[in-house]
């Protein structure tokens, strides 16, 4: 399949058969005049999720920049094709049946970091949603900007961190959020002040079809060595308390209350190190559900349910997943 820029759309095949969704031709006709980005058809979501499970998405599309993203969203709306945006897939669990419609991943021009100006004593840093959080944390250290040290070691993108209100060690994105630019389901951009963003605990209270295309952080000038040391300390704490080099999405469940961490409740329910097939509750930190290799999404959901039931029976608390479950019709 050709795009207008002459690049051939890559199609990784499931088995030997090329399978395009029934909307593919219509979609291609609509996009052909402007499209320069990459599209992958019928592609395993295991390649885009740190859990390394999940069936195929009908298409994964990487718009290069804002204009292309807006045209894409408008085109998808016109053809009534479902879509969702992903960052680096470090907090998602995709069903084995896969995903209908289009997965959008912010492409090449969504990676910039710019220090803009000062506001009320803060240094403002504007970052595009596709930038890796790790890159931003390193950049801030180099620029002697303090505030994001809590995020050292959190994988994923800035857009994903904004949508998840990611956090660790008592800090979270909303603490340092100045404002954000959001694209809505019509492809229209909105600028929102941090306090109007509706970020909750690991949650963004907005309709699903909203894209965080740019986040501006409010940071303070600091000393490079102190910032670097704080980042190092946070990463070593992580290494000490959490399983490293395993296949997971980090903490699986939200903490039901600050004094009731999910990991402790799971441990008290007797499930630390508990294993079913290729999925286990970490024996280092009980809020990590690990794919030990070869697990399916159904296996992970099976252990998730088991943990929820056991904790419920043990202390009457229903654990809610922090990991976003995508494409499951029976949950």
Ligand X SMILES: Cc1cc2nc3c(=O)[nH]c(=O)nc-3n(C[C@H](O)[C@H](O)[C@H](O)COP(=O)(O)OP(=O)(O)OC[C@H]3O[C@@H](n4cnc5c(N)ncnc54)[C@H](O)[C@@H]3O)c2cc1C
Active site residue 179: no
The residue from 63, 107, 147, 167 that contacts ligand X (CB under 6 A) is 167
**What separation in angstroms does the CA of 70 have from each of 65, 74, 76, 160?**
9, 6, 10, 19
Q: Name the minimum Å distance from CB 210 to ligand X.
A: 6
Q: Name the minimum Å distance from CB 7 to ligand X.
A: 24
Within 119-138, the residues that bind ligand X by CB under 6 A are 129
Tokens 């080099």 map to which residue? 245
166 lines the binding site for ligand X (CB under 6 A):
yes
How far apart are the C-alpha atoms of 157 and 60, rounded to whole Å? 17
Q: Using CB under 6 A, which of the segments 53-61, 153-161, 186-194, 229-237 binds ligand X?
A: 153-161
Within 247-306, the residues that bind ligand X by CB under 6 A are 248-250
Active site residue 88: no
Q: Using CB under 6 A, which of the segments 66-74, 93-101, 243-251, 264-272 binds ligand X?
A: 243-251
Active site residue 50: no
Strand (E) positions, the chain? 38-44, 56-62, 83-86, 92-94, 99-105, 113-119, 122-128, 145-146, 167-168, 171-172, 177-183, 189-193, 199-200, 203-204, 211-221, 275-276, 279-281, 289-291, 324-326
Q: Name the minimum Å distance from CB 255 to ligand X.
A: 11
168 lines the binding site for ligand X (CB under 6 A):
yes
Q: Which is nearer to ligand X, 121 or 258 (CB)?
A: 258
**What separation in angstroms does the CA of 133 have from each of 18, 61, 68, 94, 174?**
35, 21, 23, 22, 15
Q: Which is nearer to ligand X, 52 or 224 (CB)?
A: 52
* Dihedral sign computed on CA atoms, order 54, 59, 65, 66: negative
Phi first, then psi, for residue 312 (nearest 5°) are -60, -45
| Count helices and strands in the chain by DSSP H and E runs | 7, 19
Q: Given the residues 251, 267, 282, 310, select the one marked as catalytic.
A: 251
90 lines the binding site for ligand X (CB under 6 A):
yes
Q: Which is nearer to ligand X, 30 or 40 (CB)?
A: 40
Residues that bind ligand X (CB under 6 A): 50, 84-92, 129, 154-157, 159-161, 163-164, 166-168, 202, 210-212, 248-250, 324
Active site amino acids: 202, 251, 322
């Amino acid at each position: 399949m050709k795009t207008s820029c002459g690049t051939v759309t890559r199609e990784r095949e499931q088995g030997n058969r090329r399978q395009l969704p029934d909307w593919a031709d219509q979609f291609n006709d609509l996009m052909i005049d402007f499209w320069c980005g990459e599209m992958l058809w019928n592609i395993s979501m295991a390649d885009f999720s740190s859990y390394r499970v999940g069936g195929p998405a009908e298409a994964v599309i990487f718009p290069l920049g804002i204009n292309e993203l807006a045209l894409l969203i408008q085109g998808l709306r016109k053809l009534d094709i479902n879509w969702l945006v992903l960052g680096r897939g470090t907090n998602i669990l995709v069903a084995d049946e896969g995903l209908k419609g289009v997965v959008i991943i912010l492409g090449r021009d969504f990676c910039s970091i710019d220090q803009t100006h000062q506001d009320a004593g803060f240094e403002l840093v504007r970052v595009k949603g596709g930038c890796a959080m790790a890159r931003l944390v390193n950049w801030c250290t180099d620029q002697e900007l303090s505030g994001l040290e809590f995020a050292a070691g959190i994988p994923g993108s800035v857009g994903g961190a904004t949508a998840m209100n990611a956090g660790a060690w008592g800090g979270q994105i909303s603490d340092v959020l100045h404002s954000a630019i959001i694209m809505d389901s019509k492809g229209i951009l909105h600028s929102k002040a941090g306090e109007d963003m509706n970020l909750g605990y690991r949650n963004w209270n907005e309709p699903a079809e909203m894209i965080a295309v740019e986040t501006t952080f409010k940071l303070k000038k600091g000393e490079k060595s102190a910032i670097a040391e704080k980042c190092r300390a946070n990463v070593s704490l992580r290494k000490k308390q959490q399983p490293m080099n395993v296949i997971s999405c980090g903490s699986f469940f939200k903490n039901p209350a600050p004094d009731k961490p999910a990991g402790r409740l799971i441990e008290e329910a007797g499930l630390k190190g508990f294993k079913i097939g290729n999925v286990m509750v970490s024996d280092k930190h009980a809020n990590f559900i690990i794919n030990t290799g070869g697990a399916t999404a159904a296996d992970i959901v099976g252990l998730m349910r088991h943990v929820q039931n056991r904790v419920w029976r043990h202390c009457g608390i229903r654990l809610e997943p922090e990991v976003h479950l995508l494409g499951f019709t029976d949950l």
